[in-house]
Amino acid sequence: MKIFSAEQLHEADKVTTEKHDITPLDLMERAGTQIFNWLHQRMQGAQVPVHIFCGIGNNGGDGLVVGRLLIEHGYKVNIYVANFTDKRSKCFLINYDRVKEVTKNWPDLMTSEADFPEIHPDDVIIDAIFGIGLNRAPEGWVKSLIQYLNQQKAFKLAIDIPSGLHANMPVADKEAVVMANHTLTFQAPKMAFFLPDSGEFVPYHEVIDIGLDPEFLFATEPLAQLIFQNDARQLYKQRHKYSHKGNYGHVLVVGGSYGKIGAVVLAGRAAYRTGAGLVTSFIPKCGYEIVQTALPEAMTVTDAFDHLISEIDDVPEVEAVAIGMGIGTDERTIAALKKYFSETKSHLVIDADAINCIALDESLKELIPKHSVLTPHPGELKRLVGEWTDDYDKLERTRKFASDHECIVLIKGANSITVFENKLYINTTGNPGMATGGSGDVLTGMIAALLAQGYDPLLATVFATYLHGMAGNIVSQANSFEAVMAGDLADNIGKAFLSLFQQESPPQVEEEEA
């Protein structure tokens, strides 16, 4: 599913009205009717007071349509207009008159805090004050209105976007944004729904199709692409009956230092669970018995040093390398990375301390092999691209880094974002339970395994991220968010694959043997 900018959506409205010979008023009626249908299906005529707060633009017009339809169907409705300026959209004015035709209880015009109504916790609030056309933070008594609504315990439904939130710009004032319980957004989700600074205002959202011109939407290059089950399913490569382990590639996992060998075990196990034919671990000597015991399927090569990696040599030629987990930032390790980066012909997945090493030594940046995949968490990303002012600055800095170094960067988080050239791919699986040590090591091994099997680096990253999140969902649904461990993710990768082809709930978690 595509994510469009506010400007693109406004253009889509214009194209739709011109091409399909309808008026903006018709489009507003269509949008408001869809919101009403959603409400009516759930309320079933319940006489719960509904308070609709409208602005004086087109979002307010949408709210007026909803209010009129609710009134016509016998609901208890109170409509309030935030009358903060004399400028009103034409569609708003027409729908304002239409409301007056169906009720004697005309919309209340609000001009100050004295006009704020009393709202019971069991009531419903509909937010239609500002839409995606907002270009600055609400101020004065309108800001106070938003804060007043946020203080109410009543269920809050936002139309298209919570008022005060920008579709694809930084949050100007977090104290002037409606904290909606649910958002019904038109035609496509908004970028703000998936970024840390703004996503907190949209805990749940649904997309309402209002029939914008499909040809325009198909041809328009989006801000980002959301990855759902169907997208991931199309990336899957079927195995052949007469294949053997050599057909599925060899992954080399390079990492570990004293006390951090477990990261290598997790990455290696995940690589096997994601389908790699062979896995070899390159580790300090201190980890030899640990890896051989914890992951007997993997071959193991050790460094000359006992506690750290000083030179990556005597390793096999492989299709993909997962490098960096637990490796540390010793000067000898940085020197080893420089040499290996400049010589290897394998696909690289660069994670954890390998990223920190790159941040410590600028010369390493220029040695990153083309089409490598970097998988930083927020702290590592900040060391890599510098401090950012907001989420959009973060994305722009990451785009520039990926473009300058011809690599792919996966920004890990609640909605992990894969950045390649000027394209963004936002993952839709995963949960807070995955915020646990070792989760990233598992993901790195998964990406490397797909690379070893011949997946394109971009597609491998997008696909592995989806499967990783799905494995997390499977585990958390069985065990709770709190009980998720990284090893559980690796052990349920197989069920994540199976879920690609299932419509029912994800399969049960793989239980640890007694």
Nearest-5° Cα angle at 406, 404 to 408: 110
According to DSSP, the residues that pair with 159 across neighbouring strands are 184
* pLDDT value of residue 86: 84
Query: Residue 207: exposed, middle, or buried by beta-carbon count in 10 A (0-12, 13-18, 19+)?
Result: middle
For residues 422 and 493, which has the higher predicted lDDT (pLDDT)?
Answer: 493
Sheet of 417-420: strands edge to edge? 2-3, 224-227, 423-427, 417-420, 408-411, 373-375, 347-351, 320-323, 250-254, 278-283, 299-302
pLDDT band at residue 504 using 50, 70 and 90 as cut-offs: low
Cα dist from 432 to 74, 267, 464, 489, whole Å: 42, 20, 18, 13
What pTM was computed for the model? 0.94
Average pLDDT, the chain: 96
Q: What are phi and psi of 326, to 5 degrees?
A: 65, 15
Tokens of 491: 């052990």
* Pair 444, 351: CB distance under 8 Å: yes
Asked if residue 142 has pLDDT above 80, the reply is yes
Report the pLDDT averaged over residues 227-243.
97
The percent of residues above 70 in pLDDT, for the chain, comes to 98
Report the pLDDT averaged over residues 79-104.
94
Q: What's the distance, CA 225 to chain centroid?
A: 10
pLDDT band at residue 511 using 50, 70 and 90 as cut-offs: very low
pLDDT band at residue 67 using 50, 70 and 90 as cut-offs: very high
pLDDT band at residue 506 using 50, 70 and 90 as cut-offs: very low
CA 489 – CA 492 distance, rounded (Å): 5
* Pair 444, 325: CB distance under 8 Å: yes
Asked if residue 172 has pLDDT above 70, the reply is yes
Domains located in the chain, CATH noted: 2-222 (3.40.50.10260), 231-237+244-499 (3.40.1190.20)
Asked if residue 399 has pLDDT above 50, the reply is yes
What digits encode the pLDDT tens for the residues 328-379?
999 999 999 999 999 999 999 999 999 999 999 999 999 999 999 999 999 9
- How many distinct helices (H) and strands (E) make up the chain? 19, 18
* Pair 215, 416: CB distance under 8 Å: no
Report the pLDDT averaged over residues 297-318.
96
CA 207 – CA 280 distance, rounded (Å): 45
Q: Where would I find the H helices in 409-456? A: 439-452
Interstrand relation of 2-3 and 224-227 (parallel, antiparallel or unpaired): antiparallel
Matching residue, tokens 């309402």: 208
Q: Return the percent helix, strand and coil in the chain, to nearest 5.
A: 45, 15, 40
What digits encode the pLDDT tens for the residues 13-26?
999 999 999 999 99
Kindly give, in sequence order, each residue whose CB lies less than 8 Å from that of residue 422, ignoring residues fewer than 6 positions away: 399, 403
What digits encode the pLDDT tens for the residues 11-60?
999 999 999 999 999 999 999 999 999 999 999 999 999 999 999 999 99
Report the pLDDT averaged over residues 184-205.
97
The percent of residues above 90 in pLDDT, for the chain, comes to 96
Query: Residue 216: exposed, middle, or buried by beta-carbon count in 10 A (0-12, 13-18, 19+)?
Result: middle
Report the pLDDT averaged over residues 433-447.
98
* Pair 142, 128: CB distance under 8 Å: no
Asked if residue 124 has pLDDT above 90, the reply is yes
* Pair 382, 388: CB distance under 8 Å: yes
Asked if residue 202 has pLDDT above 80, the reply is yes
CA 302 – CA 308 distance, rounded (Å): 10
* pLDDT value of residue 3: 98
* Pair 245, 41: CB distance under 8 Å: no
Nearest-5° Cα angle at 1, 228 to 177: 100
